[in-house]
A and B are shown apart, each in its own frame.
Chain A
Amino acid sequence: MQRKLKPPLLTTEGIIGIVASVVFIVLLLLSFRVAMAFGALITFTAAIISLIVLLRTHNAHFAVSVIGQLLACCLLLGIALWDINAYRDWFIGIAGLMVLFMTLMVIFSLQRKMKWRTREMLELAALPVNETGNGLTTRPMQAGRMDYSTEELRSFTSFIRKRLIAIPVKEQNRIIFVINIPMGRLLAFGGKYQDRTWVAFDYEGNVTVNISQMDYFMYKDSLSFDKLCQSLGECFIGFMEQSRKGEESRIIEQLDSLKMNIITEG
């Protein structure tokens, strides 16, 4: 299938990860214990980030990640500070648990249960759009209307959040699903979304869409902007319909069928 999005760029998180790995390797060559302490610091930071993501998304799979990273942190810190042979049994126990949780983490990642769906959503929105013609604007677009109860919207919100499709921001009269939230805002519990790509469902049934300039430029071609906004809105309206029917697994199947790379397109 021909992708409409440009190949992914290296994100800030990716760059930080690479730099940390290089520093770890360099330290490993210089001093084993210092390298272990540095590794403990990195894994602890990763555990904190995972914990915040868990709190923001309510995706329980991140709990496994938090535990795995904390165990790794304990193990590395233990190696850095104490004699391994003196606490051999403790180290084996922690290492065993760590391997178990890390394996689970890898399995969940391969199953796409911990995968952010930003690129899938943007690709899915662009699928029916073949017209080009730019037309970028800062105005949001009303993509349609549908009937749903507050309870249905709440349930849909919970699903979208847990499955990492978007981060919901609650306002007095509507819920906004922010599709491409930067990690900084996610970690800072920031509610600012106006400059991002979002889809809003208000309590009167209006569905409004906004595609940010940054996300629009992620497409290879200058796709017809109004068609793209309409398509993204229709995607979400379709998801809402499926959610109301209890067919949420179909939404995930639809996103998985795009076969995005788990690591580079996360």
Chain B
Amino acid sequence: MDFKKAAILGSCISKDYAEDLFRLLVTYQDISASEAASRLNLHIKTVQDFLEAMASPDILSKKEVLEKKRPYFRYALNTRYIDMKIDLNPLFNKQQEVSKNPMKIRERNNAGARFSTSRDGQYISHVALWIGKGRDRKERKINLSIPQGKFLFHLPFPSADPLSIEDIMKKAEVANSNSSEVLDIVNVMVEYGVIEKEVDDR
């Protein structure tokens, strides 16, 4: 199951009336949205949305019937179990190896970010950024994990030569196992213009 389907399913199942609706679906051979809504004293749109959502991952089957030329759907339960498996493998494939990343980075001049150091002064604990313009300008604070904080602590200054992510990680003594979270914060900082990057063509 992909994330979108899992999100719809999870959202429906978390409703207060979900168990009551399933009980009705078990009791009735098939049931329409209006019948279920009147039985549970719910709005018909609420029930219709729920049943439609359950029909899309084939938990329910729906059959179109006609009543005086007016079509409507009747829903029947297809299964006795709802199995929710989410495949996280595609996310793993998106991660890059730090050593293969040709990007060289440093802090951007006048980045407008405020870095706060940890109590022991050995890493950055959070970064405060200003997002938006004019009256809509808001401060966004990003709390960092310790490896991310150590990495940003050793990020080259705007006037210094840019370094590769791997070199900065070595300097900051950040383990390779933390490379994904380091890359994540680098991407965020690049997005907000705090870090500038140069791609090494060699």
Contacts and interface: CB of A to CB of B under 8 A. Distances in A.
A174 interface: yes
B158 interface: yes
B114 A138 contact: yes
Interface residues of B, number: 22
Nearest to A224: B159
Q: How large is the interface on A (under 10, 10 to 19, 20 to 34, 35 or more residues)?
A: 20 to 34
Contacts, number: 65
Contact of B107 (A139, A142, A176, A227): A139
B39 to A, nearest CB: 63
A141 interface: yes
Nearest to A227: B159
Interface stretch (B117-125, B136-144, B180-188): B117-125
Interface in A217-252: 224-227, 229
Nearest to A198: B121
B148 to A, nearest CB: 14
B121 A225 contact: no
A206 B109 CA distance: 26
B147 to A, nearest CB: 16
Contact of B120 (A173, A225, A227, A229): A173
B156 interface: yes
B156 A174 contact: no
Interface in B121-180: 121-122, 124, 152-160
A169 to B, nearest CB: 11
A59 to B, nearest CB: 27
Interface of A: 131, 133-142, 171-174, 176, 194, 200, 202, 206, 208, 224-227, 229
19 contacts: A135-B158, A135-B160, A137-B111, A138-B114, A138-B115, A139-B107, A139-B124, A139-B157, A140-B117, A140-B121, A141-B157, A142-B153, A171-B121, A208-B122, A224-B159, A224-B160, A225-B157, A225-B159, A226-B160
